[in-house]
Amino acid sequence: MAIGVGINSWVWTSPFTTQSVGLLTKAAEMGFDAFTIAVEDPSHFDADEVKNAIAASGLRIYVTGAFGPSRDLTHEDPRFRQESLDYIGATLKLCEKWGAKIMVGPMYSAVGKRRQVPAEQRKVEWELAVKGLRKAGDMAADHGVTLAIEALNRFETDLINTSEQVVRLIRDVGHDSVRVHLDAFHMNIEEKDVYEAVKLAGKNLVYVDASESDRGAPGSGQVDWDGLARGLREIGYAGDCVIESFTPECKAIAAAAAIWRPLAKTQDDLAGDGLKFLKKLLQ
């Protein structure tokens, strides 16, 4: 069975709002199988209107979170840990409304939080992440949703960079509703072997970002795509591979992801070229 190909709303816009639902139609007409809605702020949506657009598109739907400085389960100030849980809870309500069975992202900490800290502090922050994700897992289960926890590269977090680390984290969390999210862009930086990273995640892997080494169109850079595809087939991966990229116009996200220049002639070109490559790779 071929693995499906999806696309993230961030490829075209930020923030995604009710007024952005035409992107669902665009993605379906281009031939995508799935669509990931980036929920930067749950108040941005008329949930019913988005639900109707999803139904009309026929696409499988995922939701990704956005974790800025005040959404941080490892923060020493409990206010920020609670803000993160409140945001996850509000986003899970949208997931349930829209029929999204998986919410993805680096929910353990704020993106861009990277420091050299003592081992004792790292242990404290790890334990805070575990505790927070257990609570988030309980909320996710109540909404019929699985959380897919993403490993990021060293320039975006100092806590979880590799498949080995994220697998260890979810084992410590020990919750049926907390699983693994891998991204080819981050793996290209951090992993010795993409194939082995996928194999290590195994059945816990429920979401994959098909992101190129420069965030351009998949197939145009240095990612080990053959290793990724081989690993996914061997573990029996049953999800989609989702193109994730950004534009310099997406100010908040572009800064976090260090997007300073266009990565394709147009975003439609990036999406279309990536779709063609991934369909062939994953068929």
**Is there a contact between 56 and 26 (Cβ–Cβ < 8 Å)?**
no
**Is there a contact between 107 and 84 (Cβ–Cβ < 8 Å)?**
yes
Q: How confident is the model at residue 262 (pLDDT cuts 50, 70, 90)?
A: confident
- Residue 21 C-alpha from the chain's centroid: 19
Closest CA to 64 of 27, 34, 26: 34
Global pTM value: 0.96
Neighbouring residues of 157: CB distance < 8 A, sequence distance ≥ 6: 106, 109, 111, 112, 113, 114
44-84 tens-digit pLDDT: 999 999 999 999 999 999 999 999 999 999 999 999 999 99
**What is the β-pairing status of strands 34-39 and 240-243?**
unpaired
Closest CA to 241 of 7, 1, 28: 7
Q: How confident is the model at residue 12 (pLDDT cuts 50, 70, 90)?
A: very high
Structural domains in the chain? 4-282 (3.20.20.150)
**Is there a contact between 6 and 243 (Cβ–Cβ < 8 Å)?**
yes
Bridge partners of 147, per DSSP, are 103, 178
Neighbouring residues of 91: CB distance < 8 A, sequence distance ≥ 6: 39, 42, 63, 65, 103
150-203 tens-digit pLDDT: 999 999 999 999 999 999 999 999 999 999 999 999 999 999 999 999 999 999
- Euclidean distance between CA atoms 92 and 102, whole angstroms: 9
**Is there a contact between 163 and 112 (Cβ–Cβ < 8 Å)?**
no
At 73 the three-state DSSP class reads coil
**Is there a contact between 263 and 20 (Cβ–Cβ < 8 Å)?**
no
Quickly tell me which residue has 């190129």 as its tokens: 212
Q: Does residue 118 register a pLDDT over 70? A: yes
224-249 tens-digit pLDDT: 999 999 999 999 999 999 999 988 77
* In the chain, beta strands by DSSP E: 4-8, 34-39, 60-65, 102-105, 146-150, 178-183, 205-209, 240-243
* In 56-143, beta strands by DSSP E: 60-65, 102-105
Return the ∠ at Cα 81 (arms to 80 and 87), rounded to 5°: 85
Q: 47 φ, ψ to 5°?
A: -60, -35
Please give the C-alpha separations between residue 5 and each of 26, 42, 62, 200, 278, in angstroms, as whole numbers.
14, 25, 12, 22, 7
